[in-house]
Amino acid sequence: MKIVILDAYAANPGDLTWAALDPIGECEIHDRTPAAKTVERSRGAEIILTNKTVLDRKVIEALPDLRYIGVLATGTNVVDIECAREKGIVVTNVPSYGTPSVVQAAFALLLELANKVGLHDAGVHRGKWSRSADFSYTEAPLVELSGLTMGIVGFGSIGSAVAKVALALGMRVLYYDVTPRQAEGVTPVDLDTLFRESDVVTLHCPLADETRGLVSDARLGLMKRTAYLINTARGPLVDEAALARALNEGRIAGAGLDVLSIEPPKPDNPLLSAKNCVITPHVAWATKASRQRLLAIAVENAKAFLAGRPENVVS
């Protein structure tokens, strides 16, 4: 059996191993696959694993041997699910593998905005503390999170885990989800109320037609001038031009982003030069522990499919 991994590098830049796939079949590994080579590299494969390489209808129809697509992520928008279903191809994903790491990253972004760790570290290394007349100094106002309100958009495994940390920090927690859930210490509200009352809005919802551009100019206008926006979910949830304007005009206090609408971003993305905007390169999911879980679940998904009891099926 031929197995092809189209873009292995994202999940495994060399510090992990794909050896668990060896008993299943002959594994062909590509760090990255340009669109023009997807069909060529995938010919004859019964199993394809992909992270961001697109498998659209044209590609799928050109691969008559294909029986299984394993998405090395939670989101499956890179695969034409309808076409796969028509062809009887099983598509699976890897849910929840990155929850602890994404929660950690969301608070890393928030704490950077609130405590300005990077700014102070840079000042100290420039000698500013050594030249200080006092034992302590601040580069900018610091913000205590205890007593503030966090609004969580999307209350699945990640959103609910974020809520637990926020509560442990002494924050009041509001949340919005299309399916309200019972959870101790948190309050479900509508979206406009969440944006209006929160000191921190953090996004943990999937990207869909109804959530694209969810953080619009209008919703940013509801936020407090002292509020922060955190996005570790999907870039297109945010109207980036509107957010850049809100930051530059001081209509909100800051943003912490791990995702952008186009990745890697174009140099003229307005958020790259916006005020008080902390950006990391889509690494919230990428701790080694998280990637180890990702690979392990992906392998188990493939084994379960071959055993006739597929798991984590999305097709």
pLDDT (mean) for 96-114: 97
Same domain, 118 and 247: yes
Q: Which of 172, 204, 219, 282 is catalytic?
A: 282
- The residues, any chain, with a CB within 8 Å of residue 207's CB and separated by 6 or more, are 75, 77, 233, 234, 236, 237
* Cα–Cα distance measured from residue 293 to residue 267, given in angstroms and rounded to the nearest whole number: 33
Look up 291 and say whether it is catalytic. no
Chain-wide mean pLDDT for the chain? 97
Same domain, 104 and 195: yes
Same domain, 208 and 185: yes
Q: Which of 234, 240, 291, 293 is catalytic?
A: 234
pLDDT band at 169 (very low <50, low <70, confident <90, very high): very high
In a domain, 248, yes or no: yes
Look up 120 and say whether it is catalytic. no
The answer on pLDDT for 130 being more than 90 is yes
pLDDT band at 234 (very low <50, low <70, confident <90, very high): very high
Same domain, 271 and 137: yes
Q: Which of 26, 86, 263, 311 is catalytic?
A: 263
How many domains does the chain divide into? 2
Q: What is the pTM of this model?
A: 0.93
Same domain, 248 and 270: yes
133 lies in which domain range?
99-279
CATH code where residue 56 lies:
3.40.50.720
Same domain, 20 and 157: no
Same domain, 249 and 160: yes
244-264 pLDDT, tens digit each: 999 999 999 999 999 999 999
pLDDT band at 2 (very low <50, low <70, confident <90, very high): very high
Same domain, 92 and 104: no
* Cα–Cα distance measured from residue 62 to residue 43, given in angstroms and rounded to the nearest whole number: 8
5-45 pLDDT, tens digit each: 999 998 999 999 999 999 999 999 999 999 999 999 999 99
Q: What pLDDT score does 181 carry? A: 84
The residue behind tokens 């969440």 is 194
Look up 251 and say whether it is catalytic. no
Same domain, 41 and 172: no
Q: What pLDDT score does 77 carry? A: 87
pLDDT (mean) for 277-298: 97
Same domain, 19 and 141: no
Same domain, 21 and 137: no
Q: What pLDDT score does 164 carry? A: 98
Neighbours of 285 (CB within 10 A): 20
Same domain, 69 and 200: no
47-68 pLDDT, tens digit each: 999 999 999 999 999 999 999 9
